[in-house]
């Protein structure tokens, strides 16, 4: 089966990409939105994940991968929530801001633009390649991003 691409969102003061790198892996949990949970349940081992910082940064900052298939959240008594183990792959050469993504017509159908509050969403191969290309380009609308404060691991 061909790996899928995803975008996971997190407030960097809660759990930044740098913290994931330091920890080497984390359980991605706490997703409660039904559509985001549906996407999370679809994550399989080896899937690629863009790590997106919310809040003041609003930028794709790194790439992670699913270390295993999604599985039931052991802390959810209802048995409805799922979690997935993730690990870092690399930090992007530079953050790709939401403003850049919204300004690019290639992303007009991207869930990040259409359903901005969704915390887990699929990313098409074309969208993935375009974000990587933007990250490799110097400059950009957002400039360099801040690392964000390391907070208590909530994933």
Average pLDDT over residues 73-92: 96
Q: Please report the pLDDT score of residue 2 as a whole number.
A: 81
Architecture of the CATH domain 5-136: Roll (3.10)
What is the share, in percent, of the chain residues with pLDDT greater than 70? 88
Distance CA 87, CA 78 (A): 27
Q: How far is CA 13 from CA 19, 95, 122, in A?
A: 10, 16, 24
pTM above 0.85, yes or no: yes
- Please check whether residue 38 is in contact with residue 119, taking contact to mean a CB–CB distance below 8 angstroms: no
Q: Is the pLDDT assigned to residue 97 strictly greater than 70?
A: yes
Q: Please report the pLDDT score of residue 141 as a whole number.
A: 46
What is the share, in percent, of the chain residues with pLDDT greater than 90? 84
Residue 59: band (very low, low, confident or very high) from pLDDT cuts 50, 70, 90: very high
């Amino acid at each position: 089966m061909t790996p899928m691409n995803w975008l996971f969102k997190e407030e960097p003061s809660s759990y930044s990409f740098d913290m994931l790198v330091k920890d080497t892996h984390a359980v991605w949990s706490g997703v409660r939105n039904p559509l985001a949970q549906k996407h999370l349940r679809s994550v399989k081992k080896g899937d690629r994940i863009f790590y997106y910082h919310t809040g003041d940064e609003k930028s794709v900052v790194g790439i992670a991968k699913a270390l295993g298939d999604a599985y039931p959240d052991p802390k959810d008594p209802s048995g409805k929530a799922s979690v997935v183990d993730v690990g870092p792959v690399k930090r992007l050469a530079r953050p790709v801001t939401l403003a850049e993504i919204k300004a690019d017509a290639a992303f007009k159908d991207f869930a990040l633009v259409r359903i901005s509050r969704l915390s887990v969403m699929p990313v098409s191969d074309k969208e993935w390649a375009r974000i990587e290309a933007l990250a490799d380009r110097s400059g950009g609308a957002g400039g360099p991003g801040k690392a964000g404060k390391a907070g208590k691991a909530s994933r």
